[in-house]
Chains A and B, each alone.
Chain A
Amino acid sequence: MNSSRILTRLASPRTGGLLALAILIALLPLALPNRYFYDVAILVGLNAIVCVGLNLLIGYAGQISLGHAGFFGLGAYGSAILATRYGWPPLAALLATTVAVALLAFIVGRPILRLKGHYLAMATLGLGIIIFMVLTTEDKFTGGPDGISVVPFRIGAFALQGEHIWYWVVGVLLLLAVWLALNLIESPTGRALRALHSSEVGAEVVGINAAEHKLMVFVISAVFASVAGSLGAHYSGFVTPSKAAFLHSIELVTMVVFGGLASTYGAVVGAAVLTTLPQLLTSFEDYEMMVFGALMIGTMVFLPRGVVPSIARLLASRRKAVPDDKADGK
């Protein structure tokens, strides 16, 4: 009886899932033979942080954004410009950039989030394009299309350099991001977000200010993207506007949908699969993108809810087939 309670606790997303993710991150280096693999793992981690935030907006609150690469790019360039051009301490540059991006998301989000569905998609797309254009054309600050180099991240005398250190930094931050997202979703605020996704009027009449909640989750997701952007800039030592481009926004949304909407672990899985898959498919050479596209179409046809929710559902229905399901139902 007691052991079954521990088991259900372990099967819960917040305790068990987080533990599993922590173990995975801790053990993964054993399977990473060289720097190149570390590099891919770090990219996965950074994308996963963005996707966990974006999934709060798209998956849980049901509000689309096709401009989140813009926030990622702003985070990257904000840190790059403040730390490299103006010599700010990188941590201060990161924090100041994050606050500025949050403020921008707050100001722009207010009018944009009144729109719904396709119209919201158009507006966020426009926002992303404007950010991309500004980063490309303001070459006095941003270096234009050629990009800008970025100083290493350092706190005091300690510099974060090398794939090994960055792996652990990104790994811990990903765990933190997942933990925050799971906490939010399990709170009254998270329920409010899921409620307004399903029925805005239904949420309003129980006292939920839908506009305020949409704005809040928009800002949170922008902050996740911005922080990942800042870290990515310091890690790679170089930023180009392509980080803020429309294609990157689409990639991020695709990762969220592929992994499974309204599933925090789905966002992580989506980021992991779609970041590593192109690397694995390089052996197909010219046909790489065709195979990639075919795999994506196949996944969405056979796992329409995305990878994680579809598999979870499959396992749940298997379990239900076993007759003792009523035993602990109440």
Chain B
Amino acid sequence: MSLLRVDGLEKKFGGVNAVEELSFEIRPGAVFSIIGPNGAGKTTLLNLLTGVYKPSAGRIEFDGHDLTGRAPHEYARHGIARTFQNLQIFFNMSALENVMVGRYMQERCGLMAALLHSPRLARAERACREDAAELMRYVGLQDYLSAASDAMPYGALKRLEIARALATRPKLMLLDEPAAGLNPTEVLELDDLIGKLTGRGVTVVLVEHNMRLVMGVSDHILVLDYGRKLAEGPAQAVRNDPRVIEAYLGSSATHDGSFGDAVAKAVAVGVEMHR
């Protein structure tokens, strides 16, 4: 039984194949990580899995529904939520309102109810506000309950996106480089937060360069390179896969610094684990 099934997925931009012949399955309740060098197609894949991009070929099936070619809001309605590598915060609103927007699918009301501010809506608004505040506390943003979103530091904004995504009550949560730009303490807290998410029954897909985080939390890892699957399997197996290590070391010189760095860390973690 799988929560998400991807079959022969392809995405072409002009003549470039950003994602090619990709098939995999995600089981419920796991942390599924997608790793690979910059430009490997990870973010493209996340955009495909949330309907932001339409695939050139292939099929995406979520929770028994074929969602191929649907709009992003339909993916959201079926229970897929995400965060963004380049933040998509609603900077024209307060932090709390950002999370309240995440509750849209539960809160949405008819136009007349909205225009006339029906008493039921007033009650629902209060509940929505409390729920959003609760979620902000849950992700550790209790100090920002009355903050304007454009006055918040970067790390807090990343959590705010997680809170907003959680507010949609997702079955599957896609995190696009949540650790990028965070300091080591914040990364540790993120590690905890991902653990809490799976504890809530949310399946997590993690796209991340921070190998320590990936190796620490993942149950299953998919390795992408040039839009193709390089390797896939349980974290332990992928970590020790000679092809992965070889490919990484062999190609690290041609990739940019941050990835070379990540590979070095990965190898270091691998060596650490071997001892």
Contacts and interface: CB of A to CB of B under 8 A. Distances in A.
A is bound by B:
yes
Interface in B69-93: 71-73, 75-77, 81-82, 84, 88-93
Interface string A205-244: 1111110000010000000000000000000000000000
A189 B108 contact: yes
B81 A206 contact: yes
Contacts of A207: 73, 76-77, 104-105, 168
The CB with the most chain A CB atoms within 10 A, among B97, B117, B165, B167, is that of B117
A203 interface: yes
Nearest to A192: B104
A262 B97 CA distance: 15
The CB with the most chain B CB atoms within 10 A, among A183, A197, A201, A207, is that of A207
Interface residues of B, number: 43
Contacts of B90: 194-195, 198-199, 202-203
B146 interface: yes
B92 A183 contact: no
What class of interface size applies to chain A in its complex with B?
A: 20 to 34
Contact of A183 (B50, B108, B116, B168): B116
A204 interface: yes
B121 interface: yes
A297 B119 CA distance: 44
Interface in B236-265: none
Contacts of B77: 207
A189 B111 contact: yes
A186 interface: yes
B92 A201 contact: no
A197 B168 contact: no
Nearest to B113: A187
B205 to A, nearest CB: 14
A222 to B, nearest CB: 14
B105 A206 contact: yes
Interface string B32-57: 00000000000000000011100000
A106 to B, nearest CB: 13
Contacts of B88: 199, 201-202, 205
B114 A188 contact: yes
Interface string B91-131: 11100010011111101110101111100010001001000
B158 interface: no
Contacts of A191: 93, 97, 100-101, 104
A204 B71 contact: yes
A190 B115 CA distance: 10
A206 B125 CA distance: 17
B164 interface: yes
Contacts of B121: 187
A33 interface: no
A190 B145 CA distance: 20
A329 B146 contact: yes
B117 A187 contact: yes
A201 B73 contact: no
The CB with the most chain A CB atoms within 10 A, among B88, B146, B165, is that of B88
Contacts of A195: 90, 93, 101, 104
A186 B116 CA distance: 11
B105 A194 contact: no
A100 interface: no
Contact of A187 (B50, B109, B165): B109
A205 B75 contact: yes
B72 A205 contact: yes
24 contacts: A180-B115, A187-B114, A187-B121, A187-B125, A188-B104, A188-B108, A188-B125, A191-B93, A192-B101, A194-B97, A195-B90, A195-B93, A195-B104, A198-B90, A202-B84, A204-B51, A204-B71, A205-B81, A205-B88, A207-B73, A207-B104, A210-B73, A262-B92, A329-B146
Interface of B: 50-52, 71-73, 75-77, 81-82, 84, 88-93, 97, 100-105, 107-109, 111, 113-117, 121, 125, 128, 145-146, 164-165, 167-168
